[in-house]
Amino acid sequence: MSDAIRVVGMMSGTSMDGIDLAEVVTDGITVQEFGRTAYVPYSEDERQILRRAMGQWDGLHVRAAAKLVTRLHARAFAALGAGSVDLIGFHGQTLAHDPDNRRTLQVGDGVQLARDTGHPVVWDFRSADVSLGGQGAPLAPFFHFACAKYIGTSEPIAFLNLGGVGNITFADPRLEDVTDQGAVLAFDTGPANAPLNDFVMARLGQAYDAHGALAATGKPDMDAVRAFLNAPYFRKLPPKSLDRNSFPQIAELVSHMTDADGAATLCAIVAATVATGMEHMPAPVSQVLVCGGGRHNPVIMSMLRAGLGVPVHAVEHHGLNGDMLEAQAFAYLAARVLNKRPTSGPSTTGAPVFIGGGELARP
């Protein structure tokens, strides 16, 4: 068995709000300890540089974003402060994701980051999976399986991550290893915070609907929700994945609504797509644990509780950190890459075989 190492994972998600950093002590199989965490927000100017590159594959804006992402992650790592670290897991910033054409783009230069930080860096986690026909996402499921073991649950559970896009992992901790048949199943459920954030920004100039305050005063249009669920994606069997911009029609769907009703409808879409996704679970789950920014929205959480028929908790209910779970996942995955263990496979990304994604760069 490999020795446990101290890894810092860094994640900048599709919401483009900033960088999460999280330290994990792991051998890439079990989680032995969760360590320090930090969050470094992007300035509005930095966010604009990233937004200009969003959805593009090449060109000036992409190169500018790549340089910025590398520099900001080096700065964020320095902000975490002193402490012995063996390895960095660097996700980078997703700008475009098109697995059907076997391409995905996360910008940020791991080789340069290794030079800048003086630490080995595992990066480019998704390309190998996508090049072999996998969806390249979601990548956190192998870590979710380790978390199910860590919290000591003995029944199948689901981890629901509500970031810009929603994704769900079925994990059965009764099985020995994540590569065992039936240990995990994962896929993207549908849009999560991104359309709601975009809507609130367009209507009110606010980054997000804090505490669901706006949505709580509105009434969801369930006809619009049902119409949205007619999109072909929801009839596809998993594994399957989405891009932040996979549903351009969602803005039009709520464009005629009041601010409050539009926000409530977008929350109801999140809950309805998760409920639809639950139909794909290979066995009944005992509970759903929610991470990501969406768990802070009481409207979304109450709609999930009403629609799923099983207990729904924020992951903090089991002592996990829902803001840092994805950053922790890339720390854990970096340790797996270092030890030449797979990071994705047929039941998580639809790749034809188990794949160890990620490149290792040494300083």
Residue extents of the structural domains in the chain: 5-137+322-361, 152-318
Q: In what side-by-side order are the strands of the sheet with 184-191?
A: 184-191, 165-171, 157-162, 288-291, 312-314
How many angstroms separate the CA atoms of 327 and 61, rounded? 25
Under 8 Å between Cβ of 143 and 169: no
Q: 179 exposed, middle or buried (CB, 10 Å; 0-12, 13-18, 19+)?
A: middle
What is the model's pLDDT at position 46? 98
pTM of the model: 0.93
What is the model's pLDDT at position 155? 97
pLDDT, tens digit, 9 for 90 and up, residues 153-195: 999 999 999 988 999 999 999 999 999 999 999 999 999 999 9
Question: Comparing C-alpha atoms, which of 165, 107, 103 is closest to residue 136?
Answer: 103
Sign of CA dihedral 61, 66, 71, 72: positive
For residue 354, count other CB atoms closer than 10 A to its CB.
16
What is the model's pLDDT at position 14? 75
What is the model's pLDDT at position 2? 67
Query: Which whole-number Å values give the CA distances from 124 to 157, 331, 357, in the listed order?
Result: 29, 13, 7
Tell me which residues of the chain have a pLDDT lower than 50.
1
What is the model's pLDDT at position 242? 84
pLDDT, tens digit, 9 for 90 and up, residues 326-352: 999 999 999 999 999 999 999 999 999
What is the model's pLDDT at position 66? 98
What is the model's pLDDT at position 128? 96
How many angstroms separate the CA atoms of 157 and 81, rounded? 35
How many angstroms separate the CA atoms of 363 and 44, rounded? 31
CATH of 5-137+322-361, one of 3.30.420.40, 3.30.310.80, 3.10.520.10, 3.40.50.1820: 3.30.420.40
Fold for 152-318, please state it. Answer: Nucleotidyltransferase; domain 5 (3.30.420)
